[in-house]
Amino acid sequence: MSNDFSDLRKGMRARVIAVPEHNEFAERLQELGLTRGTEFEVTQIAPLGDPIEIALRGYRLCLRRSEAAGFQIEVLP
């Protein structure tokens, strides 16, 4: 099942299954390690729901949901 970052809650694990082609932030996020096949865990969500903090590849990344728009993810058990 394909989801996007707006579906995530604290503690959930997910995998990136598709990267958007026309997102101004997509290239930068890929440079930071958010590439197809990358697994990550949501570690924090701000009180109003934005930004979110994810743990991936040994570090933590904070991003706004708008920056991650278009990334398709698969929620892992």
The string of pLDDT tens digits covering residues 27-46 is: 999 999 999 999 999 999 99
> Residues 6-35: pLDDT tens digits?
889 999 999 999 998 877 888 999 999 999
Single out the residue of 27, 22, 33, 19 nearest to residue 61, CA to CA.
33
pTM assigned to the model: 0.88
For residue 20, cis peptide bond before it (omega within 30 degrees of 0) = no
Higher pLDDT: 71 or 1? It is: 71
Domains defined for the chain, CATH in brackets: 5-76 (2.30.30.90)
* pLDDT of amino acid 9: 92
For 77, residues 6+ apart whose C-beta sits below 8 A from its C-beta are 13
Q: How far apart are CA 6 and CA 66, in angstroms?
A: 9
